[in-house]
């Protein structure tokens, strides 16, 4: 309907319908009262035209909605709102319906008498024609922008729509002009300034569009004379190449012709007095990771545009739940730029959505084939951006090319260091950046403490191609590498002084730049030495982001750049840092295989040659943790002692006591472990170690400090305190936002202790979180550990047939990766319990006896009491009561010697039941009561509830 009205505008501009004091020109979409245009929107006017075409007849609500909103589904309330607008314009209300009468629940009638006229010289007869380009499709997702701009044009005589190329400025501008055309007595004049080669010819081009006679002399004076008494809207489209000429002419026309309004579209503002600038945003898109259905995704305008254009291009594309994430990814890659989305949608028939998603890396070649009727610069993405690039000065072009190496956001300092010539004056930097922002080639976010800039992906792809053409890639990437090394130089130190959130805010965004430089450095045209320097600088960044796999790959690649026989010189420190990172990465990615301690040993050797005490301590820490992981407890204690001797401040003493506490715990010396844990907590490191922070690339020291006493508290019979300590550890780990720290807290405390205290539901949640976190961050060993706990929980719940095979395979994997070797013995106990439940007593006994022998050989005695108690349980099931009793008694004595009250209670429960089975109930009760009565808390835990029940039965 709306399209027909626009066609009639040219066919019969002076056909009029007269009623009361009003004249309606349907062909011109114009309502006049007393020779003055009546300001009313295009939809309300379309409803009035429809009503006057059939005077006296009932037009249903559906008919009117279809007329005013063709091909669009709207609520009935929209129609009521437009009728209200009409009534106000016509000067009537519900009690005085002179023109429009409502038929309740059905529709509306035009009730006033009307007369049809054809005037040779109507009130707009001498106006310039409404030459707005025809829009065959309605803008999608621009309703809010159009409404805002309509209001601005009515309030301000000069409105500029500003934004990057392809975002939809022309489409929105034309639509706004269409909506407001009836408000301008002498119509709308549209001027496409893109083809204008000579700015000085602007007045002549405007005169031609206004159909003025051939002009000689001062064109501007003739224009002002012609427009002085007119009420007209001038639409200046694509002003960026003739900006100064447009600004100058606009100032003159606004001053000399008070009834003229100007609507401009441009990459940058005109900067004219009184100008109202509206920066057109990108189409809205779903948030990252939203996982929307097709129906939900269509609520976002970028998705709707893609689907509309793809389905109207003749392809058999169907948008469903499977397509929703792919289309969302495409639209996000294209930054919500309307032109880019339309071009991509037009290629669906050729490539399919999955093909488009894969080809987006070559987006400038992919995004071609626009509508043949579109402006040439809008038919391919490259042409559109090239149009903007060509309008820049040589200096601005060089800066834009340099900025192409930034893969994400960047600040002013980064831009100055990378994209500007070293001789550039400092004050030139903000000015040049501001110019690129003004020209809509650079996006800026000013919400933080400092402005952050970003090239749209489409613009960046174009600028990168220009950088390649100019042969400047090597020059600019080397600048970026120097900037990264300088920026990340102090990142390791600030790990200890900044909170994790502040640290990541300051350095986290550099990861994409690191990747870009390293990809170039190790390419055929790159420089491996540059890659080594950036790799060393980025080590803290990888660990803070828990990108262990990426760190391992990059460190290995950097080490290959060194000749094994090369004499150590100034690069020795780099080699040392790489070996240290190699050891830690191997440990957390593939486990504590011999390669990890070998890497730390190499780093220690170089540190000793350099006489660097801090580096020696760092290497000793890595060697210690690798030895603990591999079950080499005596060697780990020696290295912990060496670390303590090197300690030069409270921070290092804090870590040294933690190392000794951990080793002594593994060796079953719980009193010694508790003593060093207490010493560790006495060290005041509050100013040196932030909550959840790191210490020179070491993961989660403060988290580990909370976990270590928690394990001892449970062992020593203080389960309530242990649970509180575990909660504090988990909270610290979550606050840190560091995946490795959180995995450690879950794996080493929450999962085992929640199982031991009988909180099965809590344990299930912790295990699920551990598995999800490990999988998400590619932390393979922790994922294996999580599967082992899942199997153990199945056995605890009485499903050994499911738990035993899962735990058996999990233990095999743990032995291969050699991470958590310390905790394998606990899983051996669960596996043996499961086998015994299935009647596999011989295998269960052999498994436990082998674990006892290995533990005693390695001095891994922290769980030896449980091994002996479990051996007794298996012997008892096989009818070997006396042997079982000896095992229970030995377990009880070991636990008492170790000061492990919780394990002592378990041994006492087993022994008391064996004694009670010999009809020595009083002796059995006294034996168990002696241990039970030493507890001061934890009476709701599974072990204590079971002991209490047995005591009641024995009474």
CB-CB contact of 603 with 579 (8 Å): yes
CB-CB contact of 902 with 719 (8 Å): yes
Q: Where are the domains of the chain?
A: 2-118, 143-279, 294-370, 380-471, 473-545, 863-955
Torsion of CA 515, 516, 518, 520, to 10 degrees: 160
Q: Residue 188: which of 39, 18, 28 has the closest Cα?
A: 28
DSSP E strand boundaries for 746-790: none
- CB neighbour list of residue 449: distance below 8 Å, 6 or more residues apart: none
H helices present in 545-612, as ranges = 548-559, 572-589, 595-610
Tokens for 205, please give them: 């081009």
DSSP 430-477: HHHHHHHHHTTSSEEE-SSSS-EEE--HHHHHHHHHHHHHTT-HHHHH
What is the pairing mode between strands 30-33 and 22-25?
A: antiparallel
Per-residue pLDDT at 96? 67
Say whether 168 sits in a helix, a strand or coil.
coil
Q: Cα 620 to the chain's mean position, in Å?
A: 37
Q: CATH assignment of 380-471?
A: 1.10.10.10
Tokens 């898109």 correspond to what residue?
285
Q: Residue 511: which of 476, 478, 479, 540 has the closest Cα?
A: 540
Q: Residue 769: which of 782, 755, 756 has the closest Cα?
A: 782
CB-CB contact of 732 with 706 (8 Å): yes
DSSP E strand boundaries for 718-861: none
Q: Residue 444: which of 476, 414, 411, 472 has the closest Cα?
A: 411
CB-CB contact of 204 with 219 (8 Å): yes
CB-CB contact of 226 with 189 (8 Å): no
Task: Assess whether the region 2-118 and the region 380-471 belong to the same CATH fold.
Answer: yes
Q: In whole angstroms, what is the distance from residue 468 CA to residue 654 CA?
A: 52
For residue 811, what are the CA distances in angstroms to 37, 394, 819? 85, 65, 11
Q: In whole angstroms, what is the distance from residue 823 CA to residue 670 CA?
A: 16
Q: CATH assignment of 143-279?
A: 3.40.50.300
What is the pairing mode between strands 260-266 and 158-162?
A: parallel
Tokens for 472, please give them: 């400047």
CB-CB contact of 682 with 877 (8 Å): no
- Summarised one tens digit per residue, pLDDT across range 449-468 is 778 888 877 778 788 888 98
- CB neighbour list of residue 423: distance below 8 Å, 6 or more residues apart: none
CB-CB contact of 780 with 774 (8 Å): yes
Q: In whole angstroms, what is the distance from residue 953 CA to residue 365 CA?
A: 82
Tokens for 674, please give them: 């508790």
- CB neighbour list of residue 781: distance below 8 Å, 6 or more residues apart: 588, 589, 590, 591, 814, 817, 819, 820
For residue 626, what are the CA distances in angstroms to 420, 633, 826? 46, 10, 20
Per-residue pLDDT at 222? 87
Tokens for 406, please give them: 């930034």
Beta-carbon neighbour count of residue 447 at 10 Å? 6
- CB neighbour list of residue 611: distance below 8 Å, 6 or more residues apart: none
Sign of the Cα torsion 872, 878, 879, 880 reads: negative
pTM, 2 dp: 0.61
Q: In whole angstroms, what is the distance from residue 499 CA to residue 291 CA?
A: 31
- CB neighbour list of residue 645: distance below 8 Å, 6 or more residues apart: none
The CATH class given to the 863-955 domain equals: mainly alpha
Topology of the domain comprising 2-118: Arc Repressor Mutant, subunit A (1.10.10)
Q: Residue 477: which of 435, 426, 443, 522 has the closest Cα?
A: 522
Tokens for 308, please give them: 């509309």
Q: In whole angstroms, what is the distance from residue 163 CA to residue 59 CA?
A: 42
HEC profile for 297-350? Answer: HCCCHHHHHHHHHHHHCCCCCCCCCCCHHHHHHHHHHCCCCHHHHHHHHCCHHH
- Summarised one tens digit per residue, pLDDT across range 608-648 is 988 899 889 989 998 998 888 788 889 999 999 999 998 87
Q: In whole angstroms, what is the distance from residue 927 CA to residue 918 CA?
A: 14
Q: Cα 827 to the chain's mean position, in Å?
A: 37
Tokens for 264, please give them: 């401009």
Tokens 């003055």 correspond to what residue?
36
723-761 burial, b if ≥16 CB within 10 A, otherwise e? Answer: bebbebbbebbebbbbbbbbbbbbbbbbbbbbbbbbbee
Q: Cα 912 to the chain's mean position, in Å?
A: 58
Tokens 């079971």 correspond to what residue?
946
- Spans of the chain, pLDDT less than 50: 1-13, 121-128, 369-379, 567, 684-700, 703, 820
Distance in angstroms between the alpha carbons of the first and the last residue of the chain: 93
Rg (CA), the chain: 39
Per-residue pLDDT at 201? 82
């Amino acid at each position: 309907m709306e399209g027909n009205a626009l066609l009639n505008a040219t066919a019969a501009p002076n056909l009029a319908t007269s009623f009361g004091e009003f004249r309606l020109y349907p062909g011109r979409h114009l309502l006049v009262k007393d020779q003055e245009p009546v300001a009313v929107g295009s939809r309300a006017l379309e409803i009035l035209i429809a009503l006057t075409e059939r005077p006296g007849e009932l037009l249903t609500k559906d008919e009117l909605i279809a007329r005013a909103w063709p091909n669009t589904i709207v609520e009935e309330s929209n129609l009521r709102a437009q009728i209200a607008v009409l009534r106000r314009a016509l000067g009537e209300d519900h009690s005085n319906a002179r023109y429009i009468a409502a038929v309740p629940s059905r529709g509306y009638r035009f009730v006033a008498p009307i007369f049809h006229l054809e005037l040779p010289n109507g009130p707009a007869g001498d106006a310039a024609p409404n030459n707005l380009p025809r829009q065959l499709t309605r803008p999608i997702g621009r309703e809010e922008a159009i409404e805002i701009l309509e209001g601005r044009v009515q309030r301000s005589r000069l409105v500029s729509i500003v934004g990057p190329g392809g975002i939809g400025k022309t489409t929105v501008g034309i639509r706004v002009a269409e909506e407001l055309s009836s408000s301008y007595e002498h119509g709308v004049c549209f001027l496409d300034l893109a083809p204008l080669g000579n700015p000085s010819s602007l007045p002549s081009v405007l005169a031609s569009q206004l159909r003025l006679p051939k002009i000689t002399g001062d064109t501007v004076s003739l224009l002002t004379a012609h427009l002085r008494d007119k009420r007209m809207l001038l639409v200046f489209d694509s002003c960026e190449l003739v900006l100064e000429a447009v600004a100058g002419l606009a100032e003159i026309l606004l001053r000399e012709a008070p009834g003229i309004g100007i609507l401009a579209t441009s990459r940058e503002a005109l900067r004219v007095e009184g100008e109202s600038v509206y920066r057109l945003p990108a189409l809205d898109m779903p948030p990252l990771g939203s996982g929307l259905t097709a129906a939900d995704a269509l609520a976002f305008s970028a998705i709707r545009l893609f689907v509309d254009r793809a389905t109207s291009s003749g392809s058999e594309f169907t948008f469903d739940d499977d397509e929703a994430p792919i289309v969302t990814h495409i639209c996000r890659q294209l930054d919500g730029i309307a032109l880019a989305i339309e071009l991509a949608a037009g290629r669906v028939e050729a490539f399919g959505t999955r093909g488009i998603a894969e080809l987006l890396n070559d987006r400038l070649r992919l995004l071609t084939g626009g509508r043949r009727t579109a402006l040439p610069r809008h038919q391919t993405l490259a042409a559109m951006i090239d149009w903007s690039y060509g309008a820049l000065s040589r200096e601005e072009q060089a800066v834009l090319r340099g900025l192409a190496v930034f893969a994400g956001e960047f600040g002013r300092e980064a831009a100055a260091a990378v994209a500007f010539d070293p001789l550039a004056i400092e004050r030139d930097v903000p000015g040049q950046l501001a110019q690129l922002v003004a020209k809509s080639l650079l996006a800026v976010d000013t919400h933080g403490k400092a402005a952050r800039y970003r090239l749209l992906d489409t613009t960046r792809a174009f600028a990168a191609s220009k950088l390649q053409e100019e042969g400047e890639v090597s020059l600019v990437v080397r600048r970026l590498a120097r900037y990264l090394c300088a920026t990340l130089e102090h990142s390791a130190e600030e790990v200890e002084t900044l909170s994790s959130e502040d640290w990541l805010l300051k350095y986290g965004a550099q990861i994409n730049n690191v990747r870009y430089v390293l990809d170039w450095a190790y390419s055929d045209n790159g420089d491996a030495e540059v890659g080594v320097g950036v790799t060393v600088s980025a080590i803290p960044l990888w660990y803070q982001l828990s990108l262990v796999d990426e760190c391992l790959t990059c460190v290995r690649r950097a080490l290959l750049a060194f000749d094994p026989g090369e004499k150590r010189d100034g690069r020795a420190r780099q080699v040392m840092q790489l070996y240290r990172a190699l050891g830690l990465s191997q440990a957390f990615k593939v486990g504590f295989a011999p390669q990890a301690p070998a890497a730390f040993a190499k780093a220690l050797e170089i540190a000793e040659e350099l006489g660097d005490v801090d580096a020696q301590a760092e290497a000793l820490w890595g060697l210690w943790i690798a030895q603990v992981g591999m079950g080499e407890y005596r060697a780990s204690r020696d290295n912990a002692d060496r670390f303590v001797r090197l300690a030069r401040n409270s921070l290092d003493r804090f870590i040294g006591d933690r190392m000794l506490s951990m080793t002594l715990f593994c060796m079953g010396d719980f009193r010694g472990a508790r003593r060093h844990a207490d010493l560790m907590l006495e060290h005041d490191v509050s100013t040196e170690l932030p909550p959840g922070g790191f210490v020179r690339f070491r993961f989660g020291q403060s988290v580990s400090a909370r976990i270590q006493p928690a394990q001892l508290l449970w062992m020593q019979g203080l389960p309530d305190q242990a649970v509180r300590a575990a909660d504090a550890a988990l909270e610290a780990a979550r606050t840190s936002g560091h995946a490795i720290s959180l995995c450690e807290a879950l794996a080493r405390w929450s999962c085992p202790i929640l199982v031991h205290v009988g909180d099965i539901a809590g344990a299930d949640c912790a295990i699920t979180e551990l598995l999800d976190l490990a999988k998400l961050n590619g932390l393979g060993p922790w994922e294996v550990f999580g599967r082992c706990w899942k199997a153990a929980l199945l056995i605890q719940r009485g499903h050994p047939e499911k738990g035993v095979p899962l735990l058996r395979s999990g233990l095999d994997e743990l032995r291969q990766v050699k991470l958590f070797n310390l905790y394998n013995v606990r899983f051996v106990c669960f596996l043996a319990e499961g086998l015994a439940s299935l009647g596999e007593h011989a295998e269960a006994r052999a498994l436990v006896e082998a674990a006892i022998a290995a533990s005693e050989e390695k001095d891994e005695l922290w769980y030896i009491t449980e091994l002996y108690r479990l051996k007794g349980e298996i012997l008892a099931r096989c009818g070997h009561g006396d042997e079982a009793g000896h095992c229970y008694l030995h377990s009880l004595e070991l636990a008492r010697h170790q000061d492990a009250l919780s394990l002592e209670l378990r041994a006492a429960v087993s022994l008391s039941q064996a004694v009670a089975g010999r009809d020595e109930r009083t002796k059995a009760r006294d034996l168990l009561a002696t241990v039970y009565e030493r507890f001061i808390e934890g009476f709701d835990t599974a072990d204590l509830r079971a002991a209490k029940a047995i005591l009641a039965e024995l009474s």
